[in-house]
Amino acid sequence: MKRFFRLLSLSSPYRRYFIISCVFMVIYTVLNGISISAVPVLVDRILAGRETELPDSMQSLIPFRGQLEDVLAYVNSIDKVKLLMWIGIMVLVIFVLKGVSLYLSQVTMEIMGQRVTRDIRSNLYNKYYRLPMNYFVRSRIGELMTRITSDVNLINEVFSGRFVTNIKDTLQAVPFLAWMFILDWKLSLMLIVVVPLFVFPVAAIGRKIRKLSRKTLEKIADISSVINETISGIRIVKIFCMEDYEQKRFYNQLDKYKKIRIDVIKKEALYNPLTEIIGGVVVMFVLIIFPRKVMSGEITQGFLIAYLICLAAMIKPLRTIGKINFALQNAMAALQRIFDLLGAPEGTSDAGGAKIFPGIQESVMFQNVSFGYASDEPVLKGVDFEAGINKITAIVGPSGCGKTTLVNLIPRFFDPWKGVI
């Protein structure tokens, strides 16, 4: 949960866009609920040729039942053709307003998402300049590139218009569920019991997907590193005829990535059959109980169809919960990698009372200097020499003996383990 709130905190500078997007999502949801009210009137009054009556089950749930019955009495008195025209106009207006609301919700969220990802990439890029050289020695270029590209793209998914659409689809469960409780709260309460059968597997699958998402990002970094090493060292590859070796190395990384992705896809695919099974159980209960109320006159055919429409519409929000969970788990896996980088120690630290370097006056002197990139593998050990100013000093030795490392100590790209420069 901390990671989730940390993810949301990224959008805090642009919270106004988030609020605007949420407002239009709520408007869309409310309009969707209002559109269901036309179904009983359309079925009972227009198709069945009978008056629309409130079911007995709505007696205790509607505080303004009397006023609503007056409205229905007026609706029942309208001519069928005229009523059908008014229903058509109402549906058209609702759909136009829904379209405008959805557009504004998606656009405002996308604007916020692009600004958030711009800030993250800028912070990562600036962080690279403040990291010590030793960090770049330990890290691969491909790894650093994927942090600022692929990882940030996964976070952008949470603030994108597509994610807003998924949230919108999930919120549709609210008006549909409200209608179901209004029409028959006892039956709807029974159906709610099956929700844990869906929630617990979703949470378990989500945790596994987060782990696999991190492995996926790491494997993308491996692939990027191989590509970078091959292209930057293409002359060496060609000189030593290593094309086959590099192709096999690249193929092995792709194959490992493929296996991880297949594992992710298998787990994501579990949502659909799980939703279908739960939906089948719910429909079974409704088909056994609800038609009897129609036959006994407790409820009209119009309200039966409205209940079934709401029930069928609940399937999509349940499926969308899985999509939202996927996006969040992927984003949180990427977020952890990004914050690991942003939290890495920066630069080199000065000892207390350190003096400002005035520049080379007479010479550069190494006194018993030792250094290595790994704590147990020294590259330089007890180096002593002096290079005078305005003189040429040659540093000679076989490949890998530490010549470049020695020179890199002079501008303080690294600090020696011991000794003085």
Using an 8 Å Cβ cutoff, are 321 and 278 in contact? no
Helix (H) or strand (E) run with residue 317 in it:
helix 315-342
Q: Residue 100 — very low, low, confident or very high, per pLDDT cuts 50/70/90?
A: very high
Tell me the pLDDT of the chain averaged across its residues: 80
> Which is more confident, 282 or 106?
106
- Range with top average pLDDT, 31-45, 53-67, 113-127: 113-127
Span 262-321, pLDDT tens digits: 988 888 788 777 777 777 777 777 777 767 777 777 777 777 788 788 877 777 777 777
Tokens of 209: 């997907």
Q: Which residue has the higher pLDDT, 359 or 393?
A: 393
Q: Which amino acid is at 196?
A: P
- pLDDT tens digits, one per residue of 349-372: 666 666 777 777 788 888 888 888
The whole-number pLDDT of residue 66 equals 66
Helix, strand, or coil here: 393?
coil
Assess whether pLDDT exceeds 60 at residue 62.
no
Beta-carbon count within 10 A of 300 CB: 22
Alpha helix segments (H runs only) across 65-184? 65-77, 80-130, 133-138, 141-148, 150-158, 161-171, 173-183
Query: Rounded mean pLDDT of 211-227?
Result: 86
Does pTM surpass 0.85?
Answer: no
DSSP-H helix ranges across 172-270:
173-183, 185-192, 195-232, 234-239, 243-269
Q: How many helices (H) and strands (E) does the chain have?
A: 18, 3
Tell me the percentage of the chain whose pLDDT exceeds 70. Answer: 90
Higher pLDDT, 111 or 353: 111
Distance CA 379, CA 397 (A): 13
Instruction: Classify strands 363-371 and 380-388 as parallel, antiparallel or unpaired.
Output: antiparallel
Average pLDDT value for residue range 377-391: 84
Rounded CA Rg of the chain: 33
Q: Taking 80 as the threshold, does the pLDDT of residue 30 lie above it? A: yes
The arithmetic mean of pLDDT across residues 62-88, rounded, is 74
Asked if 324 and 167 touch (Cβ cutoff 8 Å), the reply is yes
pLDDT the model gives residue 96? 93
Q: Which of 191-205, 318-332, 374-388 has the lowest mean pLDDT?
A: 191-205
Q: What is the pLDDT of residue 255?
A: 92
The reported pLDDT for the residue numbered 234 is: 87
Confidence category of residue 56, pLDDT binned at 50, 70, 90: low
Is residue 80 over pLDDT 90? no
Rounded percentage of the chain residues whose pLDDT exceeds 90:
4
CA distance 333 to 76: 57
pLDDT digits (tens, 9 = 90+) for 159-176: 776 777 777 777 878 888
Instruction: Find out whether 64 and 109 touch, Cβ atoms under 8 Å.
Output: no
Query: Where is pLDDT greater, at 82 or 348?
Result: 82
Burial class (CB in 10 A: 0-12, 13-18, 19+), 191: buried
Amino acid code (one letter) for 276: E
Check whether 42 has a pLDDT greater than 80. Answer: no
Could you tell me if 271 and 168 are in contact, meaning their C-beta atoms sit under 8 angstroms apart? Answer: no
Phi, psi (deg, nearest 5) at residue 27: -60, -45
> Which amino acid, one-letter code, is at 383?
V
Q: What is the pLDDT of residue 354?
A: 65
Other beta carbons less than 10 A from residue 348's beta carbon: 12
Query: Over 60: is that where the pLDDT of 60 sits?
Result: no
